Amino acid sequence: MRAMSRSVIEGALALAPWLASMYVFYWLESSQFWTPETPHRGKLSVVLLGAGMILSFLVRSYLSKRRSR
């Protein structure tokens, strides 16, 4: 039971950067700061979401490597 709860917590930690980047994207959109007229909006969206995904991958890799020791 303890191993399963630890796995769930590690999974949540690994997803946190990606979810944070999704929330920042939502917040920018809902605050009217990120409008369709924003220059390079598509490129910035890809960078924002990509950074969250890369950070999630790095956190998951670190936690996986730490568990295997």
Distance of alpha carbon 41 from alpha carbon 38, whole angstroms: 5
pLDDT in tens, 15-69: 999 999 999 989 998 998 888 888 998 999 999 999 999 999 999 999 999 888 7
Q: Where are the domains of the chain?
A: 2-68
Q: What is the pLDDT of residue 55?
A: 97
Q: Which residues contact 60 (CB under 8 A, 6 or more apart)?
A: 10, 14
Please give the single-letter amino acid code of residue 45.
Answer: S
Residue with tokens 């929330």: 23
Q: How many CB atoms lie within 10 A of CB 41?
A: 13
Q: How open is the CA angle 25-59-30, to the nearest 5 degrees? A: 10
